[in-house]
Amino acid sequence: MHHYAGNSGCRISFGIRRTVLLLSSLALLAQPQLAAAAEPAAAQALLALKAKAGINKVAILDAVRSGKRIVAVGERSLIFVSDDEGKTWSARPTASEKSLTSVIAQRAGVLIAAGHSGVILRSIDGGDNWTRSPVPVGQKEALLGMLALSDGRTLAFGGYSSLLESSDAGSTWEQRSILDAEMDKHFYGIAASEQFLVLVGEAGLISLSSDLGKTWKIVPSPYHGSLFGVAALPNGVFIAYGMRGKILGSFDQGQNWRELESGTKSPFFSGTLLRDGRLLLGGKDGVLAMITADGQAVETRHTRDRRSVSRIVESQKDELLLFGDVGIRHVQWKDLEK
């Protein structure tokens, strides 16, 4: 609600303008042909506005490296690309307005982004242009992550046990139903190691497939709070992470799990496998946790600004690119607070 101070003329003037705008809108809606003619113009205006967006003015929810390019996605389907290791960014506007929660590089030049209301966008030119991919009728739940499998298939997963599968690099999608017809927990993460897949989600859900996702079974979890992601390390090690700073490790291809000490109560949102085989987790309050390649040791640090980290991308110059609610930050591990 707006409150106005000053003379009554200002308030009357505002009321008149509001009435004129309302009547104009009603008149436009009463003439479908005029409204239809205005839609393309409005769409073009929106695209032009999004093309001017700055990456440090919006929330970035995920990012991925595709060759020498880094592609970042976030709120209102905003997409940014950088060809100089994150020094400068340019927007790549899309017609969608839904927040994008994830992006992956499926194969050379092909990127797929997914997000709220089941939206999936696809680029075949390295992220410069994007088109919307059709999804199964009724898929309205948010998609929270994706995974490209070694056999060429792509999985997209999310709210209320949503699981979509594509065999043509994201051009078309089919609905999958796994575990139980009554299962309604959110799926937050999937990771692959050879033919083994581990899926994690709401209320401590951990599910394992030993045949690249054809069949699944639930395995016991030592934690019953939400797990927001999972990553595969070498030698059959899986690391899951989530609420209250929980980090879980499995050292037998996802069969059994135990808790690893993280030293924090801040939740972890994402995990990035570094070039040297270590895993770096990012989360709320600027928390970062470095996990050794064997999954046995954890070192936790914080950014100085304590702002949340939704995704980490390793640069080619020993820098870490941190994405989150304030766009991007460049840091080095040695400079972070212990």
Q: Per-residue pLDDT tens for 231-284?
A: 999 899 999 999 999 999 999 999 999 999 999 999 999 999 999 999 999 999
Q: How many residues does the chain have?
A: 338
> Hunting for tokens 């690391």 — which residue is that?
239
Q: Where are the domains of the chain?
A: 59-335
The secondary structure of residue 134, as a DSSP letter, is: P
Q: Are strands 287-291 and 279-283 parallel, antiparallel or unpaired?
A: antiparallel
Q: Which of 270, 275, 240 is nearest to 258 (CA)?
A: 240
Q: Per-residue pLDDT tens for 67-107?
A: 999 999 999 999 999 999 999 999 999 989 999 999 999 98
Contact (CB, 8 A) for 278 and 298: no
Residue 310's CB is within 10 A of a number of other CB atoms, namely 21
The span from the CA of 305 to the CA of 170, in Å, is 37
Residue 3: pLDDT band with limits 50, 70, 90: very low
Following DSSP, what letter does each residue of 39-50 receive, concatenated? HHHHHHHHHHHH
Token pair of 213, please?
Answer: 């996702």
The whole-chain average pLDDT of the chain stands at: 88
> Hunting for tokens 């640069």 — which residue is that?
315
Give the orientation angle of helix 8-29 with respect to helix 32-51, to 10 degrees. 120
Q: Where are the beta strands (DSSP E) in 274-319?
A: 279-283, 287-291, 298-302, 311-314
Q: Per-residue pLDDT tens for 273-313?
A: 999 999 999 999 999 999 999 999 999 999 999 999 999 99
Q: Where are the beta strands (DSSP E) in 13-142?
A: 60-66, 69-74, 79-82, 90-91, 100-107, 110-115, 120-123, 131-132
Mean pLDDT of all residues in 118-130: 97
The span from the CA of 265 to the CA of 252, in Å, is 27
pTM, two decimals, is: 0.86
The secondary structure of residue 182, as a DSSP letter, is: T
In this structure, which topology does domain 59-335 adopt according to CATH?
Methylamine Dehydrogenase; Chain H (2.130.10)
Mean pLDDT of all residues in 48-72: 91
Phi first, then psi, for residue 48 (nearest 5°) are -65, -40
Report the range of poorest mean pLDDT among 36-45, 134-143, 204-213: 36-45
Contact (CB, 8 A) for 121 and 129: no
Check residue 44 and give its pLDDT. Answer: 76
Q: Per-residue pLDDT tens for 181-229?
A: 668 899 999 999 999 999 999 999 999 999 999 999 999 999 999 999 9
